[in-house]
Amino acid sequence: MSHISEGADIRNPIAAGARLGLAEPSLASVGDYIALMKPRVMSLVVFTALVGLAVAPGSLHPVTGFTALLCIAVGAGAAGALNMWYDADIDAVMTRTARRPVPMGRVQPGEALAFGLTLASFAVVVLGLLVNVLAAALLAFTIFFYVAVYTMWLKRSTPQNIVIGGAAGAFPPMIGWAAVTGSLSLEPVLLFMIIFFWTPPHFWALALYRTEDYARAGIPMLPVVAGDASTRRHILLYTLILVPIGIAPWPLGFAGALYGITAIVSGTIMLALACQVLRERRPAERASRHLFAFSILYLFLLFAVLLVERGWGGLLARWAA
Amino acid sequence: MSLGIAMNEQLKDDGIVLTEAQKRARRSRSIAIALSLAALVVLFYAMTLVKGPMLLIRPM
């Protein structure tokens, strides 16, 4: 050992401890652990689960409803933490994700893994004990699907990663519905399908102007593997499937006229934007950015109107009962 | 005795000495864990009041 490093060891016993194989005490803040839970994704999960819970028939005490949403939120956070644990290597080379706690070294991978597993266990067990077993089973499957099927397998191996993996993000309304009814039916499956078919155009629009980022990380996103033109055609194809599914709750009697009008108008805008993306050529990325931004508003609008039209009255009646 | 060996002896005696930043981070994490556990206690208490004996009967 050189004299310089000996001097450094005296001034910094932590570094010396690390050199001796002792665990270095963590500098992670509470904020870092919150960041591990992907709070923005969590908020969308909670919102769609709330809609599933609110439109479901039957009664549910508000405390039970709150518990169900809390467990779904924590379960989503657990999945996010486990995703960041596994994906730390590719997060470090992507501009969008390089500042996450694990690649930045503020949270050790083992800490993220332990945090995610603990939260996942708590969320599933508490949902099963306090609400019902079907909702807990669906939550457990969702976490498994997102972490094992999407993160560990599909994301690095196929351009269909976000198509199949998108199912994980589509489950929350089904869990909300199951929390109230203890069963499943066509209506929550329809909500599932709306999110499932919304996911590809949403993420491919993002991938179109982040292609270099994904390529550098070695993720086989569709624009990286199949190229721009193919991705643009796929976006239009999936939007063509999404729009009628988005409208379907109205003719099927699950939603009213306000929902129908909202779904038709916002669906038409989605289609128009998808057509613009089809015509756009690099280096222009304006249409892709517009589609990405509007797709978030589209999904929010559909579920918000459904909540107002179907769920809000139901929620108030349940709370008053 | 070299400085390295002296350092090893010091670590064996005192363990790892935390910096002020590490102490603050540990304290904030400890408070967050305490609050989470307290919230869990309140949640289970509230659910017991809401469901009563039905808490043990869980529909599929």
pLDDT the model gives residue A317: 57
Nearest to A127 by CA among B20, B44, B45: B44
pLDDT the model gives residue A9: 44
Cα(A298)–Cα(A275) distance, rounded to whole angstroms?
16
pLDDT category at A315 given cuts 50, 70, 90 is: low
Cα atoms in the 13 Å half-sphere on the side-chain side of A72: 36
Looking at domain A2-320, its CATH architecture is Orthogonal Bundle (1.10)
Q: Provide the percentage of residues in chain A whose pLDDT is more than 70.
A: 89
Residue A297, C-beta contacts closer than 8 angstroms, at least 6 positions apart: A266
pLDDT category at A10 given cuts 50, 70, 90 is: very low
**What's the pLDDT tens digit per position in B41-50?**
999 999 989 8
**What's the pLDDT tens digit per position in A234-275?**
999 999 999 999 999 999 999 999 999 999 999 999 999 999
Residue A72 has pLDDT above 80, yes or no: yes
Cα(A104)–Cα(A163) distance, rounded to whole angstroms?
29
Alpha-carbon gap: A137 to the closest alpha carbon of chain B (Å): 10
pLDDT the model gives residue A17: 46
In this structure, are residues A274 and A239 in contact, taking their beta carbons and an 8 Å threshold? yes
Which residue is associated with the tokens 């976006």? A235
pLDDT the model gives residue A318: 58
Binary contact (B4, A9; C-beta < 8 A): yes
pLDDT the model gives residue A238: 97
In this structure, are residues B51 and B59 in contact, taking their beta carbons and an 8 Å threshold? no
pLDDT the model gives residue A14: 45
**What's the pLDDT tens digit per position in A188-244?**
999 999 999 999 999 999 999 888 888 988 899 999 999 999 999 999 999 999 999
ipTM: 0.73
Binary contact (A25, B18; C-beta < 8 A): yes
Binary contact (B25, A26; C-beta < 8 A): yes
Task: Classify the C-alpha dihedral B47-B53-B56-B59 as positive or negative.
Answer: negative
Q: How many CB atoms neighbour CB B28 within 10 A?
A: 15
Alpha-carbon gap: B4 to the closest alpha carbon of chain A (Å): 6
Q: Which residue has the higher pLDDT, A309 or A71?
A: A71
Residue B16 has its nearest CB partner, among A13, A30, A130, at A13
Nearest to A84 by CA among A41, A127, A141: A41
**Cis amide bond preceding A283, omega within 30:** yes
Element (H, E) at A306: helix A286-306
**What's the pLDDT tens digit per position in A14-34?**
444 444 444 567 788 999 999
Cα(A134)–Cα(B38) distance, rounded to whole angstroms?
27
Residue A27 has its nearest CB partner, among B2, B21, B59, at B21
Residue A20 has its nearest CB partner, among B11, B43, B58, at B11
**What's the pLDDT tens digit per position in A98-138?**
999 999 999 999 999 999 999 999 999 999 999 999 999 99
pTM score: 0.84
Locate the chain B residue with the closest alpha carbon to A183: B60
**What's the pLDDT tens digit per position in B13-60?**
667 788 888 899 899 999 999 999 999 999 999 998 988 877 666 655
Q: How many CB pairs under 8 A join A and B?
A: 86
Binary contact (A28, B25; C-beta < 8 A): yes
pLDDT the model gives residue B5: 61
Cα(A34)–Cα(A255) distance, rounded to whole angstroms?
36
Return the minimum-mean-pLDDT range out of A68-82, A162-176, A181-195, B40-54: B40-54
Locate the chain B residue with the closest alpha carbon to A126: B44
Across A290-318, average pLDDT: 85
pLDDT the model gives residue A11: 46
Cα atoms in the 13 Å half-sphere on the side-chain side of A193: 15
Task: Classify the C-alpha dihedral A4-A8-A10-A14 as positive or negative.
Answer: negative
